[in-house]
C-alpha cells in the first residue's frame, strides 16, 4: 500500500469500494483484511471501523516494537487481531495471551507441509501445538484439510 500511496493511489479506498459493493462491510461479514503496513490498516479503520483488520507481524527486527505489550496496545486501537510469524509465538508463548488480554485474535503464519520445521514430525503435530498449547484462534495455511482434521479430532 505504501508504494501505491507514493504514486498518488489509495489502495484503501479502492479496497473499501469493492468490499462495500459485495457486502463485506456489513456487520457479521465473514472477512478479515490483513496487511503488514500499520498506516494502511489505520487508514482503513478510520474509513470503515467495522471491518475486522489483522496486523501482520514479521519476525524481522523492523517489527520488534509490535512484539511487546505496548506494541499490542497500539495495534488494538485499530485492529481486531494479529497475524504474527509463528516463530514469534514459539520464542515467547505468552505473546498469545498478551494479545488475547487486549481483545485481539491471533492467527499465526504460515503452516505448510512442504516447509515443516524439523522439531515437528508432521503438520498435524505443529498445528496441534499452536491450537491447543499456544491457544491461537486460527492460522494461515494452504492445507485447510489438515487444519480441519486437527480441529475435528480435538
pLDDT for position 141: 96
| Domain edges within the chain | 2-109, 112-154
List residues bridging with 85 in a β-sheet.
109
* pLDDT tens by residue, 98-151: 999 999 999 999 999 999 999 999 999 999 999 999 999 999 999 999 999 999
Give, in order, the Cα–Cα distances in Å from 43 to each of 1, 102, 141, 142, 149. Answer: 11, 21, 27, 29, 37
Q: What is the arithmetic mean of pLDDT over 13-24?
A: 96
Q: What is the arithmetic mean of pLDDT over 47-72?
A: 94
Q: What is the arithmetic mean of pLDDT over 90-104?
A: 98
List residues bridging with 106 in a β-sheet.
82
pLDDT for position 28: 87
Parallel/antiparallel/unpaired status of strands 105-106 and 33-35: unpaired
Domain 2-109 has what CATH class?
alpha beta
Q: What is the arithmetic mean of pLDDT over 32-40?
A: 97
Asked if pLDDT for residue 57 goes beyond 90, the answer is: yes
Amino acid at each position: 500500500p505504501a508504494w501505491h500511496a507514493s504514486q498518488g493511489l489509495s489502495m484503501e479506498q479502492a479496497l473499501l469500494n469493492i468490499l462495500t459493493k459485495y457486502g463485506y462491510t456489513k456487520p457479521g461479514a465473514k472477512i478479515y483484511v490483513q496487511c503488514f503496513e500499520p498506516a494502511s490498516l489505520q487508514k482503513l479503520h478510520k474509513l470503515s471501523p467495522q471491518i475486522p483488520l489483522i496486523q501482520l507481524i514479521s519476525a524481522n527486527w523492523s517489527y520488534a516494537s509490535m512484539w511487546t505489550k505496548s506494541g499490542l496496545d497500539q495495534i488494538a486501537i485499530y485492529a481486531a487481531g494479529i497475524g504474527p510469524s509463528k516463530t514469534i509465538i514459539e520464542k515467547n508463548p505468552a505473546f498469545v495471551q498478551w494479545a488475547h488480554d487486549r481483545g485481539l485474535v491471533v492467527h499465526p503464519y504460515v503452516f505448510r507441509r512442504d516447509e515443516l520445521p524439523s522439531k515437528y514430525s508432521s503438520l498435524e503435530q505443529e498445528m496441534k501445538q499452536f491450537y491447543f498449547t499456544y491457544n491461537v484462534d486460527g492460522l494461515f495455511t494452504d492445507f485447510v484439510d489438515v487444519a480441519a482434521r486437527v480441529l475435528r479430532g480435538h
